Every structure is written in structure tokens, then in C-alpha cells.
């Protein structure tokens, strides 16, 4: 039940904030009629079962794609389409509390191309990879892999948004991980130790470069010991001139063996390489292991 003092409080508040011309003034020094005063007061708004709040809390999904270039490929990529969905948080107040949900506000779409410009001298195995992301209306570009330093220049437009990657200078990169591969692992007839041959598909390229480019081969000859740690027969590193074929004859290295090879036992080589010079970083590339070879051959 509404109390009289509550009605009086509401009426007084309305009287204090409303223009005097809107209703008769209340003179408390004379007789005061509540009925006449309430008739002149503005009506109260009707109660709403639920109150809707738009807090303008936006969340945008991020749509990303990669664009890559191989050496010798066209300097302009085909357009890629990026899409970002923008959601708005909407909350409603009910008697049992507040309930919030997300409503799709809009969808942003951009077609983007990347163009490589400036003086570039990529090596045959190198590539340029750019990550493109659209979040709401913001496009971001990251250089994921590159043979050069690039300055990114964004050129918004319709129907295609252009990204220019301007080469600023060459940077040293890791050597081609598949540049050297195992070609042969065998024990020649009458041989005292196995032979490992490695093929270098970029030897001619490295030989044509100015400066002293070198190939570093690291290898470990091991004895296979079932149910136990494999034994190390020889561990060595060689620095060689670039060549199409590197032949490692373990017979010539037998004097460095930690122990002689045993008949009927299996042996294998774990190997890897790096490049030494001004072109590539000196990063080590793990070449893996050869197959097991029984000594002597049966």
C-alpha cells in the first residue's frame, strides 16, 4: 500500500525540479489541498518488466591468412579474402537477475594483395611469408619469414586493399634444410669400415659466391646395442669446400675409433650440417640417421 508520506515526497520533488508554470505552486503557509496538487503533477511512467542495457561492449573475431612467395615467383600475390565478425554484448535485467548475450552487429570483409618491391636477391631456397589479419576494420601485417628486411606500407582501397612490402636489405637466413641429403650408406666389398655419401644440391651455387663459403659436416658413428645405450665409435666434425658429393670413408678414420668394429653388430651414423660464410646463418641442420648396417656384410 502506498503511504501518504511517500506521495508527498514525490510531489515535493516534482515541484522543486519542474517549472512553476506547469502546475500551481504549493503554499504551505496557507491551506494545502493534496488532491489538487496531485492532479497538476505529471503522471509517473509505467513499470517495465525488463530493462534493456546496451553497454557498447564490442568483440571482433580475427580472420587471418598467410601469403607466401618463392624465389622467382611473381612479385604480386593473388587476392586473399579476410573476414571479421563484430559482436555487441547486450544485457537485460529481470527479476531473477541480469542476463547477457552477444548479438552479431556487422561483418567486415577485405580482399588483400601483397606486392614485393625494392631491390631483392632471394636465394633459391628462401621464401617470403606474410601473415595478414583483419580484426573489425583494422588490418595488421606481420613478416613471418623473409630473406630481406621489409618496410610494410598499407594502401587501403576498394575492391582490393594493397599491402606493399618494400625490401630494405638482405638478411642472413638458415640454410636450406633439404640442401644436403644422404645418398649412400654401405660397406664396400672387402672394406674395413662403412662409407657415407652426402649429396649437396646447392654446391654449385655456393661455389659461385664471393668469399670463402664452407660446408661443415658433423657426424657420429654409433653401434646399435639392443636394450641398452648405443655405443659411440667416432664423433667428428669436418669443414669442407662445397661439393656435389661428400664421401666419408670411415676406413680412413679407423685410427680415431674409440673401439674397433665388431663382427655381427649393427652400425649407423647420425649426421647433420651447417653452412659457414656470409650467405647463411651458421644454424645446424639435423640430417637424421642412416639405416642399420651389419658389419661385416653377410
Is 90 exceeded by the pLDDT of residue 29? no
pLDDT of residue 36: 52
Q: Is the pLDDT of residue 54 over 90?
A: no
Calculate the CA dihedral of residues 251, 252, 257, 259 and round it to 10 degrees: 40
For residue 42, the model assigns a pLDDT of: 52
Vertex 118 angle, CA 113 and 121, to 5° = 105
At 212, the pLDDT band (50, 70, 90 cuts) reads confident
Task: For residues 198-219, give the mean pLDDT.
Answer: 91
**pLDDT at residue 5 is higher than 70:** no
Domains of the chain, first to last? 4-40 (no CATH), 51-170 (no CATH), 180-295 (2.60.40.10)
Q: Which range is least confidently modeled, 8-17, 216-225, 266-275? A: 8-17
Q: What is the mean pLDDT of residues 151-169?
A: 95
Write down the mean pLDDT value for the chain: 85
Strands, sheet with 62-70, edge to edge from the N-terminal-most edge strand: 62-70, 127-135, 138-145
51-57's contacts with Cβ under 8 Å and 24+ in sequence apart are: 51/92, 51/93, 52/90, 52/91, 52/92, 53/90, 53/91, 53/92, 53/93, 54/88, 54/90, 55/89, 55/90, 55/91, 56/88, 57/88, 57/89
Closest Cα partner for 230 from 255, 251, 258, 272? 258
Alpha helices per DSSP H over the chain: 4-17, 34-40, 203-207
Q: How high is the pLDDT of residue 46? A: 43
Instruction: Return the higher-pLDDT residue of 221 and 24.
Output: 221
pLDDT value at 141 more than 50 = yes
d(CA 22, CA 18): 7
pLDDT tens digits, 262-285: 999 999 999 999 999 888 888 999
Q: How many Å apart are CA 153 and CA 137, to the nearest integer?
A: 17
Paired strand residues for 151: 166
Task: Please report the pLDDT score of residue 297 as a whole number.
Answer: 65
Q: What is the reported pLDDT for 296?
A: 82
- Express as a percent the part of the chain with pLDDT over 70: 81
pLDDT at position 277, please? 87
- Judged against a pLDDT cut of 60, whether residue 82 lies above it is answered with yes
Task: Enter the DSSP assignment of 111.
Answer: E
Which of 221, 239, 218 shows the shortest CA–CA distance to 285?
A: 218
Tens digits of residue pLDDT in 223-253? 999 889 999 999 999 999 999 999 999 999 9
The DSSP secondary-structure symbol of 44 reads P
Measured in degrees and rounded to the nearest 5, phi and psi for residue 58 equal: -105, 145
Q: Residue 48 has what pLDDT?
A: 43
- Please enumerate in sequence order all residues whose Cβ is within 8 A of that of 20, keeping only pairs 6 or more positions apart, or say none: none
Q: Does the structure show a pLDDT above 60 at 35?
A: no
* Cα atoms in the Cβ-side hemisphere of radius 13 Å centred on 109: 5
Amino acid at each position: 500500500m502506498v503511504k501518504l508520506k511517500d506521495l508527498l515526497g514525490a510531489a515535493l520533488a516534482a515541484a522543486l525540479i519542474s517549472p512553476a508554470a506547469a502546475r500551481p505552486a504549493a503554499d504551505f503557509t496557507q491551506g494545502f489541498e493534496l488532491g489538487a496538487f496531485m492532479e497538476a503533477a505529471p503522471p509517473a511512467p509505467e513499470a517495465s518488466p525488463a530493462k534493456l542495457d546496451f553497454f557498447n561492449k564490442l568483440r571482433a573475431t580475427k580472420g587471418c591468412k598467410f601469403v607466401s612467395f618463392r624465389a622467382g615467383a611473381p612479385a604480386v600475390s593473388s587476392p586473399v579474402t579476410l573476414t571479421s565478425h563484430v559482436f555487441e554484448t547486450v544485457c537485460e535485467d529481470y527479476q531473477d537477475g541480469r542476463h547477457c548475450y552477444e548479438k552479431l552487429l556487422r561483418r567486415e570483409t577485405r580482399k588483400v594483395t601483397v606486392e614485393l618491391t625494392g631491390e631483392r636477391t632471394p636465394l633459391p631456397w628462401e621464401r617470403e611469408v606474410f601473415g595478414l589479419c583483419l580484426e573489425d576494420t583494422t588490418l595488421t601485417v606481420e613478416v613471418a619469414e623473409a630473406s630481406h628486411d621489409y618496410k610494410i606500407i598499407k594502401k587501403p582501397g576498394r575492391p582490393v586493399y594493397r599491402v606493399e612490402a618494400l625490401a630494405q636489405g638482405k638478411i642472413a637466413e638458415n640454410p636450406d634444410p633439404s640442401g644436403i641429403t644422404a645418398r649412400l650408406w654401405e660397406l664396400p666389398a672387402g672394406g674395413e669400415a662403412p662409407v657415407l655419401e652426402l649429396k649437396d644440391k646447392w654446391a654449385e651455387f655456393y661455389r659461385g659466391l664471393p668469399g670463402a663459403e664452407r660446408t661443415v659436416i658433423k657426424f657420429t658413428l654409433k653401434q646399435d646395442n639392443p636394450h641398452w645405450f648405443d655405443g659411440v665409435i667416432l664423433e667428428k666434425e669436418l669443414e669442407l669446400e662445397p661439393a656435389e658429393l661428400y664421401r666419408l670413408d670411415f676406413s680412413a678414420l679407423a685410427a680415431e675409433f674409440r673401439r674397433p668394429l665388431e663382427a655381427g653388430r649393427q652400425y649407423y651414423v647420425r649426421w647433420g650440417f651447417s653452412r659457414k660464410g656470409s650467405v647463411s646463418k651458421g644454424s645446424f641442420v639435423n640430417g637424421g640417421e642412416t639405416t642399420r648396417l651389419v658389419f661385416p656384410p653377410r
